[in-house]
Structure 1
């Protein structure tokens, strides 16, 4: 196939938008930007039960990514900004501006919450165990032994093959389930549930995995 152009991306995202609706999920926010190399990125933030995932397509690349990202330090900084602003929550499209030093401060707090280096190593391995799955790409947000977040993603290839609803739904469920389990684990290990307005619990996991 020739290189994926903007029209290809637009058509693929229209098909995926229909799949999102068909499985009962809801698009809550568009994504638009560029990669570090300057390629155009388009996508969606999608609500799946109580969780969110991203759909990302890059002009010139053959795969569309279904991605779940969690950054505990960023989540703490955002929640603090919301609280300091006198709000209890945000609407789906509302942006919260946070400074790099706020995230750095939150990272320091997370490290202090761990008992010692052995606990940090335990947390690291615990996250790895929860996001490891065949056909799923996974990355840690880490500083040596200290893990403060992760990313899990699955690839679709709509420019080469038709992506049916069943395949799309299966990949979404896998990505969200792994992400939710790892996020819940980090929230518990760093004792963040009260700070993050409760955080994930067994009552608000992805549909089909409670």
Structure 2
């Protein structure tokens, strides 16, 4: 008598049964052979080659292609520029009237935080793009130059009916922005090892077409009284 073969499948070995679980931890695909980001090569320039080229833009330190060093998209940073002023232009067009500049004596500022912020930003833009940088401070600048520079705001703001307190407030904002911009330009100047190289190659893009301001600043930053003061 012959015995019929068993219909039960052969039992799997323990190693075969656990193989899929083990494979869950195995890295596959092209990413498995990539080196970590920290292993990217880094070339150190000799001291003689450093800081001889034109420094980075004085207004924006993000890369020009919109990516960081690792190739990922960084968070967008706030940068100086005409963006707020463009918004002010839109508001002016919608209302069909220029913005009145008020003054809150109690808080020594604009009546609203939004107006104060917009005005300060727009004044900073005017200083960077229109104001001659050939004086130690806004206070010693000739009055006719101040009037001309302030006039750049007249497109969006009503400057004709300013009372004395409001005009003093506007001049204070101009003085603060002038001082800050001059400080930014001084840091830009210091990025060069040689003052002559800074003069010839370092003119910021904001002063292109107004190179006489950069020439004055380069001489001013080297003056003994400025060096001692700074």
User: By the TM > 0.5 criterion, same fold?
Assistant: no
User: Larger % of strand: which?
Assistant: 1
Which has the greater radius of gyration? 2
- After TM superposition, the score normalised by the length of structure 2 is 0.24
